[in-house]
Structure 1
């Protein structure tokens, strides 16, 4: 492979994933972008992009594509978790990303980035947050040289993707932002494009959370710091 960062990713067809790819394309440090998914990637083209239609539920379908990558990114997830059955949610938001992480680790990928959620905690009473926390714990146990856990609160998209409830949220959330101060700053909504940029640009940075720590948790202030630096 060419000199520079080689990135492999699942979830590129989602709202956040699409923005991550756009940002990666604009980075000179990225030598190659391998996208894995069940459907065809139809975003902006670039000579560095290699797309493979695979069954992401079975690592044996894509394991041979992983060696040689320095970074892995997972933005896979159900758009409306509240409308999904628990078994389906666990499969897509916990089990598939963990299987991808395990396969990446075995292939020698040193840095793994995960789109997770603010409040993720395996001890949480919330099914959603507990599941996210279980995924994070599982990835942490794999022993990546660097693990970046992105914890957004509300992700603000430019268009309404999920009906009346999201329309209301998109209208109200910007007005709430000034009220979320101090410890509540991490609950501020983040524009999907800015979140995608932060995930991509973080590949070129050293860990932000704790000096020397393999795992870093990134929240609202971190997203903005990464993009604005």
Structure 2
């Protein structure tokens, strides 16, 4: 039986790759994506046979519960403290929105739920970013009734971003030079292409 999917965060680095892969995946018949603003022309119309973009207010995400009545939910939401403006705004996107999405997915009895966390996520971390990611993992994995919840924990994401992030660009260049050192227990810290993360998310869903 063909599957249906819901994607949150379709316009981000991983989200765009995920949409492209889902739309070309013969196992899916439809993909709904909840977005803050209309999709760009290229993304919206290159896959218009399967893709249904819905512009919503994420601050009122609970009002869109009906869209969670799908087989698979993918959450690619994520920000940075710099982009969000402050820690509170960052936590709203990277914890609250995703946690609400998990609760809505549970209420609709989805088959599986996958979201993007981070390598090093730890609720006890001294680093705010990793602490929030870890707290979210704990909160979602403790949700009774949410079957097959999985977190993808990438390191530095590589790919073509719309916005310019100097630190990530420098990090990507250094990572390329240091890549041979990311072996054994350090392999998880190796930077990864956004397309690979998208592929991993699909592999974690239940078919």
What is the TM-score when the length of structure 1 is the normalising length?
Answer: 0.82
Give matches, 1:52-201, under 5 Å. Answer: 52-67=54-69, 69-78=70-79, 80-82=80-82, 84-143=85-144, 144-158=146-160, 161-201=163-203
Q: Is the alpha carbon distance of 1:33 and 1:173 closer, same or farther for their aligned partners in structure 2, counting shifts above 3 Å? A: same
Equivalent pairs counted in the alignment come to 201
Q: Is the alpha carbon distance of 1:113 and 1:25 closer, same or farther for their aligned partners in structure 2, counting shifts above 3 Å? A: same
Q: Can you list the C-alpha shifts for 1:201-226, whole angstroms capped at 9, x where unaligned?
A: 43356xxxxxxxxxxxxxxxxxxxxx
Alpha-carbon contact 2:148-2:206 (below 8 Å) kept: no
Structure 2 unaligned residues grouped into runs of 5+: none
Alpha-carbon contact 1:56-1:62 (below 8 Å) kept: no
What's 1:7 paired with? 5
Superposition CA RMSD, Å? 1.7
What's 2:39 paired with? 41
Which secondary structure does the structure 2 equivalent of 1:33 belong to?
Answer: strand
Which secondary structure does the structure 1 equivalent of 2:132 belong to?
Answer: helix
1:149 and 1:60 map into 2 onto residues whose CA distance is: 21
Q: Can you list the C-alpha shifts for 1:128-153, whole angstroms capped at 9, x where unaligned?
A: 11101111111112232101110001
Structure 1 unaligned residues grouped into runs of 5+: 206-229
Q: Is the alpha carbon distance of 1:47 and 1:139 closer, same or farther for their aligned partners in structure 2, counting shifts above 3 Å? A: same
1:182 and 1:197 map into 2 onto residues whose CA distance is: 22
Give the superposition deviation at 1:5: 1.3
